[in-house]
Structure 1
């Protein structure tokens, strides 16, 4: 990790003051707790491709 990088884990607490200074767009987005529970008809690949 470079010295200027920051890691923020945000779950349900999106109104926390510490998170207000994070970048407007995420650099990385993990959906590891969502995609495994999607059904074939939910088109998981299509959903992930549409994420920012």
Structure 2
């Protein structure tokens, strides 16, 4: 799961056991970084998915 909203996208997916990547484009700080991968810009996603 790739999402940009922690509460609705990432938190829900993690509760269902789905590996998640959070696109934190707003640089939010109220999250648990241990349960999901975090990226801050679109190019980070390319690196996480090994598309380079």
TM-score between the two structures when normalised by the length of structure 2:
0.26
TM-score between the two structures when normalised by the length of structure 1:
0.26
Higher strand share: 2
Larger Rg: 1
